[in-house]
Amino acid sequence: MMVPVLAQFGSPTHWLIFLTIVLVVFGARRLPEIARNLGKSLGEFKKARREFEEELMKAQKSVDDKPAALAEEKKEEETH
């Protein structure tokens, strides 16, 4: 069973260690910029995922509707 990475950071001590490492690596001045860019990236990812799901639904609907359209065409050909 896979556990998400952030779920492993359960205790406040783990979060404190993680945030301290991030602060040392990136510095206090760059943290707001990094957080802003991360937020924008997540927003773009969600938008792309939503668009992909919509296209997938359209394709599924097209495939589901195709047999009905073929049956109607066949009936029309038989009546003529």
Digit-coded pLDDT (tens) for 4-58: 666 666 788 888 898 899 899 989 899 899 889 999 999 999 999 999 999 999 9
Whole-angstrom distance, CA of residue 48 vs CA of residue 46: 5
- Residue 62 pLDDT > 60: yes
| pLDDT higher than threshold 70 for residue 63 | yes
Residue 44 has what pLDDT?
97
**Residue 1, pLDDT above cutoff 60:** no
Domain limits of the chain?
Answer: 10-79
- Is residue 9 within 8 Å of residue 15, measured between CB atoms? yes
On whether the CB atoms of residues 9 and 18 are closer than 8 A, the answer is yes
